[in-house]
Amino acid sequence: MSVLLVDDDLLFADVLAYSLRIQGFSVNIVTDGQQALDQVVRSEPDMVLLDVRLPKLNGLQICFQIRQTSSVPIIILSANDEEEDVIGALECGADDYVIKPFSHRELGARMKALLRRCAEHKSWQSSNELELGDMVLDVGSHQVIRKGTVISLTRIEFRLLHVLAMNIGMVVPYSQLIDYVWGHDGGDANLVKTHICHLRRKLATPDEPGAGIRSVATVGYSLKTT
């Protein structure tokens, strides 16, 4: 698994790279934003670890630019632990946010978990049917079927469930939900909340009244793994 580590603190980067290599990763280090953008195109890494404070372009600017052309998993590494910093990173397209200082073993475990989820995501995208516990999402017909019974969803409700299912276990920010469901036609966080409320009600069971959809305050929603 190839990893692009973007950090201008070479001592920190060398120590982290050594630890990750022991855990089975192949690590390439670059020290500024332009190098990072070039390497994403040239070497197509399996994952990008991205520091926030960098010369020329900061980590969030780099993350946003990568997301215009690539779906490579991105983890932000930062000493900033304010909620707004985390939200800003997720809205720029980051998949995870790890606060410095951190355990190298924990980071490695997070990286492997994220890579597994992304592999499942790609597998689901290539299939017309997604399995979610006792439900099946038929992407072609925009239907949800539970134990042979069709659950009637609106187009918007289905698309919200679909994007959550494709990112199962991960927090999907409001901005990404809006873009996937409404695109350039509009949509806002309040609309998302209203449709998620309807979706939860339609998919609820006695054992799962919230339909497995978890709200992350001021950020977005996630669908729990089964």
Give the CB-side neighbour count of residue 213, counting CA atoms within 13 A: 26
Distance of CA 150 to the CA centre of its chain: 29
User: Residue 17: which residues within 8 A CB-CB, separation 6 or more?
Assistant: 5, 27, 29
Whether pLDDT at 183 is above 70: no
d(CA 1, CA 112): 9
Rounded to 5 degrees, what are φ and ψ at 57? Answer: -120, 135
State the DSSP H helix or E strand holding residue 119, giving kind and residue range, or none if neither.
helix 104-125
Question: Going by DSSP bridges, is the β-strand pair 213-216/220-223 parallel, antiparallel, or unpaired?
Answer: antiparallel
Judged by average pLDDT, the poorest of 47-51, 119-123, 148-152, 195-199 is 119-123
Q: Which residue ranges form the domains of the chain, and what is each CATH number?
A: 2-121 (3.40.50.2300), 127-223 (1.10.10.10)
Given this model, what pLDDT does residue 74 score? 92
Query: If you average pLDDT over residues 196-202, what whole number do you get?
Result: 92
- Edge-to-edge, what's the strand order for the sheet holding 135-138? 129-132, 135-138, 143-146, 149-151
Decide: 165 and 130 in contact? Cβ < 8 Å: yes
